[in-house]
Amino acid sequence: MKNILLFLCSLFIGVILLLGYKTLTLKRNNQPVTTSLSKPTQFSLEKAPRDSIRAGILSLSGKVEWQSRTAGTPVSITKPQSIQQGEIITTGENGKVVIKVPAVSLISMSPKTKLNFIQTLPADLVLEQDNGISRYTKTGAVPVSIRSMDLLVTLIDGVSTLSVDMADDSVSVTVEKGSLTAAYNDSQNTSNLTTVNAGDTFVFNDDTLEGSIQ
Q: CATH number of the domain at 97, please.
A: 2.60.120.1440
Read off the pLDDT band of 169 (50, 70, 90).
very high
If one counts the domains in the chain, the total is: 1
Query: Contact 56/80 with Cβ under 8 angstroms?
Result: yes
Residue 41: is its pLDDT beyond 50? no
Q: Is residue 46 part of a domain?
A: no
pLDDT score, position 15: 47
In a domain, 155, yes or no: yes
Supply the DSSP symbol for 48.
Answer: -
Determine, yes or no, domain membership for 203: yes
Kindly state the average pLDDT of the residues 167-186: 98
* pLDDT tens digits along 105-159: 999 999 999 999 999 999 999 999 999 999 999 999 999 999 999 999 999 999 9
| Residue 43 clears pLDDT 50, i.e. is over it | no
Q: How big, in percent rounded to 5, are the helix, strand and coil portions of the chain? A: 15, 50, 35
Range of the domain at 124: 55-213
- What are the φ/ψ torsions at residue 133 (nearest 5 degrees)? -130, 135
Give CA–CA dist 198/194, Å, rounded: 13
CA distance 68 to 89: 9
In a domain, residue 80? The reply is yes
Strand partners, 210: 205
Examine residue 123 and state whether it is found in any structural domain, yes or no.
Answer: yes
Nearest to 55 by CA among 121, 7, 123: 121
Examine the pLDDT at 170 and tell me if it is beyond 90: yes
171 occurs within a structural domain: yes
Q: Is 102 inside any structural domain?
A: yes
Q: Are 118 and 126 in contact (CB under 8 A)?
A: yes
d(CA 119, CA 132): 20
Question: In degrees, to the nearest 5, what angle opens at C-alpha 49 toward C-alphas 44 and 54?
Answer: 120
- Answer yes or no: is 26 within a domain: no
